[in-house]
Amino acid sequence: MNKGEATRREIIEKAAPIFNQKGFEGASLSDLMQATGLEKGGIYRHFESKEQLAGEAFDYAWKTAMDRRMAGIEEIAKSVDQLKQFVRNFRERREGLVPGGCPLLNTAIESDDGNALLRRRAKRALGGLLNRLETIATEGLKRNEIKRGIDTKELATLIVSTLEGSLMVSRLQKTDEPRAMACRHLEEYLEEKVRN
Amino acid sequence: MNKGEATRREIIEKAAPIFNQKGFEGASLSDLMQATGLEKGGIYRHFESKEQLAGEAFDYAWKTAMDRRMAGIEEIAKSVDQLKQFVRNFRERREGLVPGGCPLLNTAIESDDGNALLRRRAKRALGGLLNRLETIATEGLKRNEIKRGIDTKELATLIVSTLEGSLMVSRLQKTDEPRAMACRHLEEYLEEKVRN
């Protein structure tokens, strides 16, 4: 990585918490200058626009979140236990996340009627996550670990919807309990209705 | 209602879709002027600040949403059927809603690290909704319509989390299917695990 690439990377990492907490519209130039310690010209030498920087900051924040959410899953044998690990990670593995809550939830809500570039990135992130979970469930069906008749796409969508919705409630109430409730519900559902 | 009150009301109603679609930060003065057909002075004669207008627009949008979500519930006898009606309303009764998705979800996500006034309004709205659902469930417990051991606060939180999360997925993917999946899941859960 040369010096320009390193600076660009550093700007992305320092801008990510600003965008994730304040949103694309709410993040001001002075916020970004303060976070990066650079002047306007120093930032925009590396990015075409605020939109481009926000897009890269989203991808960075989302990769960080996905690394946590998927941690330890590959070492687990059974598909239902992999899905349970995903749920557990959502509740427990939050060290090192970009502050401000889930980047997907934040960016999806802000951009669903708004910025097209950010909306595309959020949609791609969601699609990637649903695919990962669906693939786990499909493997489980093939190996007879998951009950016949389970719709793997529906299962993946339900897990993501329940967790992301509970995060909204937890963050608004400033308590972990709603997230923990959602996780317990999904774990019970996976044991009782999904595991073969 | 005198003329000033009528104008104030009209501004709130016309500003609500702007704030609900673009967010507090994303809604510009020119957006608000265009939506209301008024100049800046004409708008801010009736409101102290953009924040105050956004707060009133949120309350209006939320009242509209709650009217739809609670429609028909009082005429239903059994508590589990009341909760199922709430879920069904979330999927089906969307005519006349303020455009832009759920005002609670939008405002919660934007304000959780941001505007304190909007955060308070969103938190109050969420609290009111959870209370309504919890009251229904508590009545059901008393009347033996709901299984002993069901935690009514947990049930209310789970219903709201699952629905709101599925709305994020539905709006990002521009398809009703994730919301329908979440509703089917909750209906099944209410029948199998909650109803006595």
Q: Distances from the Cα of B89 to the Cαs of A100, B69, B82, B133, B148, in angstroms?
A: 31, 5, 10, 14, 26
pLDDT for the residue B5:
92
Model confidence band, residue B174 (pLDDT cutoffs 50, 70, 90) = very high
Tell me the nearest-neighbour CA distance from A50 into chain B, angstroms. 14
Cβ-defined contact of B110 to A23 (cutoff 8 Å)? yes
pLDDT at B116 over 90: yes
Cβ-defined contact of B162 to A165 (cutoff 8 Å)? yes
Residues 6+ apart with CB under 8 A from B125: B58, B59, B62, B103, B104, B107
What integer best gives the mean pLDDT of chain A?
A: 96
pLDDT for the residue A93:
92
Residue range B156-177: average pLDDT?
Answer: 97
Diameter of chain A measured on Cα atoms: 59
Phi, psi of A96 (to 5 degrees): 80, 0
* Domain spans, chain A: 59-194
Chain B within 8 Å of A109 (Cβ-Cβ)?
yes
> In angstroms, rounded to a whole number, what is the distance separating the alpha carbons of residues A121 and A20?
14
Q: pTM for the full model?
A: 0.96
Count residue pairs from A and B with Cβ separation < 8 A.
139
Chain B within 8 Å of A162 (Cβ-Cβ)?
yes
Chain B within 8 Å of A181 (Cβ-Cβ)?
yes
Phi, psi of A140 (to 5 degrees): -65, -40
Phi, psi of A169 (to 5 degrees): -65, -45
Contacting residues of B for A91, CB less than 8 Å apart? none
Residue range B144-159: average pLDDT?
Answer: 97
Tell me the nearest-neighbour CA distance from A104 into chain B, angstroms. 10
Proportion of chain B above pLDDT 90, given as a percent? 95
pLDDT for the residue A114:
86
Q: Which CATH number fits domain B59-194: 1.10.10.10, 1.10.357.10, 1.10.150.170, 3.40.1710.10?
A: 1.10.357.10
Q: What is the pLDDT of residues A160-190, one digit of tens each?
A: 999 999 999 999 999 999 999 999 999 999 9
> In angstroms, rounded to a whole number, what is the distance separating the alpha carbons of residues A122 and A104?
6
Tokens at B84, concatenated: 């199922």
Cβ-defined contact of A112 to B172 (cutoff 8 Å)? yes
Chain B within 8 Å of A80 (Cβ-Cβ)?
no
Residue range A130-146: average pLDDT?
Answer: 98
What integer best gives the mean pLDDT of chain B?
A: 96
Chain B within 8 Å of A123 (Cβ-Cβ)?
yes
Look at the block and give the residue holding tokens 């606060």: B153
Tell me the nearest-neighbour CA distance from B38 into chain A, angstroms. 24
Q: What is the pLDDT of residues B123-145, one digit of tens each?
A: 999 999 999 999 999 999 999 99
pLDDT for the residue B18:
97
Model confidence band, residue B114 (pLDDT cutoffs 50, 70, 90) = confident
pLDDT at B1 over 80: no
Proportion of chain A above pLDDT 90, given as a percent? 95
Tokens at A70, concatenated: 């998927």
Cβ-defined contact of A178 to B161 (cutoff 8 Å)? yes
Are A166 and A140 in contact by the 8 Å Cβ rule? The answer is no
pLDDT at B17 over 90: yes
Are A62 and A25 in contact by the 8 Å Cβ rule? The answer is no
